[in-house]
């Protein structure tokens, strides 16, 4: 698992880091003038876990989050939980024949990536797989949008997505790509076993090599007069169809 220092901001993102990964939170900064009871909870929980808490002026927080609203709290975090690709096989094997993977082929908007992580965590996914290039990094915006999912869910960054898909197939994982022009419907798939659902990026969709390494391409039926869904919405639809079948 690779690690790096970074700042995370926002009530949900900081609360999740303190609750789920306190050993990697170096300090928490809280707006001294704020009156949000959630900030009091974060302060108390951080102090209980031995994390340094500093009260600062709101202006001191303004420059930390960049364009992300800090909501009166920030944390210096010493671990961006991006898992190494060699750990993926172990995650699949530990799922005991019911692995559910979300593979994102080039999602570059951090808000979309964060929303996809949130849906994947809610669906109990085994992991989310992203390419190391042509993808948004797991940054402060992703963490805030994911509402803590980035701390709970393995996010596996891989060097070569096509090779990773081949390796997953060798592990008994069925690979299904989402493509608007495909004829088979998502709802005709058996999603109860080891499955990877592959969605493309905002602009180009699935890349050619990614398509070629899928066991099948399917579409989400859309009777309305819209050609495509936002990638995070499509991810939620696919993941929760798997949840429905498995329950």
Which one, of 153, 200, 163, lies nearest residue 181 by Cα?
Answer: 200
- Rounded Cα distance between 139 and 49, Å, is 24
Q: What is the phi/psi pair of residue 117, to 5°? A: -65, -40
Annotated binding-site residue? 200: yes
The vertex-175 CA angle with 147 and 207, nearest 5°, equals: 80
pLDDT of amino acid 125 = 97
Q: Are strands 6-9 and 73-77 parallel, antiparallel or unpaired?
A: antiparallel
Q: What is the mean pLDDT of the chain?
A: 89
Query: 158 - beta bridge partners?
Result: 131
Report which of 208, 130, 222, 214 is spatially closest to residue 177, judged by C-alpha positions.
Answer: 214
> Within 13 Å and on the Cβ side, how many CA atoms surround 104?
38
* Weakest-pLDDT range from 18-32, 156-170, 177-191: 18-32
- What digits encode the pLDDT tens for the residues 98-119? 999 999 998 999 899 999 999 9
Residue 5 has pLDDT above 70, yes or no: no
Is 148 marked within a binding site?
no
Would you place residue 13 in the very low, low, confident or very high pLDDT band (cuts 50, 70, 90)? Answer: confident
Would you mind telling me the total number of residues written for the chain in this entry?
Answer: 247
What is the tens place of the pLDDT at every residue in 175-195? 999 998 899 999 999 999 999
Whether residue 229 is annotated as binding a ligand: the answer is yes
Tokens describing residue 71:
């909501």
DSSP-assigned letters across all residues of 96-147: TT--EEEEEES---HHHHHHHHHHHHHTT-SEEEEESSSS--S-HHHHHHTT
Question: What's the confidence (pLDDT) of residue 17?
Answer: 85
CB 229 within 8 A of CB 134: no
pTM for this predicted structure: 0.75
Would you say the C-alpha torsion 195, 170, 128, 110 has a positive or negative sign? negative
Please enumerate in sequence order all residues whose Cβ is within 8 A of that of 20, keeping only pairs 6 or more positions apart, or say none.
148, 151, 152
Looking at residue 3, its pLDDT comes to 47
Residue-wise pLDDT for 124-151, tens only, equals 999 999 998 888 878 767 877 887 787 7
pLDDT in tens, 56-110: 998 888 878 666 688 999 998 875 556 889 999 999 999 999 999 999 998 999 8
> What is the average per-residue pLDDT within 157-166?
95
pLDDT digits (tens, 9 = 90+) for 181-238: 899 999 999 999 999 999 998 777 899 999 999 999 999 998 887 777 899 999 999 9
> Domains in the chain, ordered, with CATH?
6-77 (3.30.1330.30), 82-246 (3.40.1280.10)
Query: What phi-psi label fits residue 113: left (phi over 0), alpha (psi between -120 and 50 degrees) or beta?
Result: alpha
Three-state DSSP at 26 gives: strand
Q: CB-hemisphere CA count at 13 Å for 43?
A: 17
Q: Residue 224: what pLDDT?
A: 83
Spell out the residues 6+ positions from residue 133 whose beta carbon is closer than 8 angstroms to its own. none
Q: How much of the chain, in percent, has pLDDT values that exceed 70?
A: 94
């Amino acid at each position: 698992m690779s690690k790096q220092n970074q700042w995370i901001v926002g009530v949900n993102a900081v609360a999740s880091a303190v609750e789920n990964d306190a050993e990697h939170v170096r300090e928490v900064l809280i707006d001294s003038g704020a009156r949000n009871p959630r900030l009091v909870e974060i302060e108390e929980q951080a102090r209980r876990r031995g994390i340094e808490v500093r009260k600062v002026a709101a202006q001191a927080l303004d420059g930390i989050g960049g364009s992300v609203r800090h909501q009166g709290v920030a944390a210096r975090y010493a671990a961006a939980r991006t898992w190494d690709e060699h750990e993926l096989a172990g995650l699949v094997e530990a799922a005991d024949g019911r692995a559910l993977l979300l593979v994102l082929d080039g999602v570059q908007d951090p808000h979309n990536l964060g929303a996809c992580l949130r849906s994947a965590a809610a669906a109990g996914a085994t992991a989310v797989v992203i390419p190391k290039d042509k993808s948004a990094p797991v940054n402060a915006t992703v963490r805030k949008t994911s509402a803590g999912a980035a701390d709970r869910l393995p996010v596996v960054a891989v060097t070569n997505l096509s090779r990773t898909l081949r390796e997953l197939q060798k592990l008994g994982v069925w690979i299904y790509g989402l493509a608007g022009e495909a004829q088979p419907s998502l709802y005709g798939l058996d999603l109860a076993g080891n499955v990877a659902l592959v969605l493309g990026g905002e602009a180009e969709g699935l890349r050619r090599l990614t398509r070629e390494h899928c066991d099948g391409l399917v579409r989400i039926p859309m009777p309305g007069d819209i050609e495509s869904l936002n990638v995070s919405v499509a991810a939620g639809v696919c993941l929760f169809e798997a949840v429905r079948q498995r329950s």
